[in-house]
């Protein structure tokens, strides 16, 4: 039974994605089309390949294998494109993570923002330390 292809990532397209075993630079994620067990778990499979070997393969499938009957149309992934980018995140403002003087500066900045912008004011935790998305 063929697995359903979910995602394919080339290391050249994903900043910071480490190469796989033996210099593999193409990660592919597949999902079994059926659920298993009493909790209807999904089985996933991650495959690392070398992009140059797949791009110059002598035997490429003209038509992908047909996906077996699924319980619903929403179980078949829709094709899409991701645009990965590197994002910096910063530690939470907690006593055991950041030094107390820095936390005091963050608190003072947040208080000033709240005084100026009210309840919609930006905060370090919600707007600056962790990128949205």
Question: What is the token pair recorded at 98?
Answer: 């950041």
pLDDT greater than 80 at residue 104? yes
Q: What is the pLDDT of residue 47?
A: 92
For strands 26-36 and 4-10, give the pairing.
antiparallel
0.85 exceeded by the pTM?
no
Q: What is the pLDDT of residue 39?
A: 79
Please spell the DSSP secondary structure of the chain, one letter per residue.
-PPEEEEEEEGGGSTTPPP-GGG--EEEEEEEEEEETTTTEEEEEEEEE-HHHHHT-S---SSPPPPPP-S-GGGSPPP---------------TTTS-HHHHHHHHHHHHHHHHHHGGG---IIIIIIS---
* Gap between the Cα atoms of 91 and 72, Å rounded: 41
CA neighbor of 6 nearest in space, from 57, 53, 42: 42
Mean pLDDT over the full length of the chain: 83
Tens digits of per-residue pLDDT, 6-50?
Answer: 888 889 888 888 889 998 999 999 988 777 778 778 889 999 999
Domain residue ranges of the chain, discontinuous segments joined by + = 4-75, 87-133
For strands 41-49 and 4-10, give the pairing.
unpaired
Considering only CA atoms, give the Rg of the chain: 23
């Amino acid at each position: 039974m063929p697995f359903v292809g979910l995602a394919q990532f080339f290391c050249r397209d994903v900043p910071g994605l480490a190469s796989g075993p033996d210099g593999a630079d193409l990660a592919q994620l597949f999902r079994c089309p059926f659920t298993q067990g009493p909790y209807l778990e999904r089985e996933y499979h991650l495959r690392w390949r070398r992009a140059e070997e797949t791009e110059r393969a002598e035997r490429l499938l003209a038509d992908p294998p047909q996906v077996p009957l699924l319980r619903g149309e929403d179980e078949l992934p829709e094709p899409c494109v991701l645009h990965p980018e590197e994002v910096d995140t910063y530690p939470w403002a907690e006593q055991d993570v950041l030094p107390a003087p820095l936390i005091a500066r963050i608190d003072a900045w947040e208080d000033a923002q709240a005084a100026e912008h009210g309840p919609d004011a930006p905060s370090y935790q919600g707007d600056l330390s962790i990128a949205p998305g």
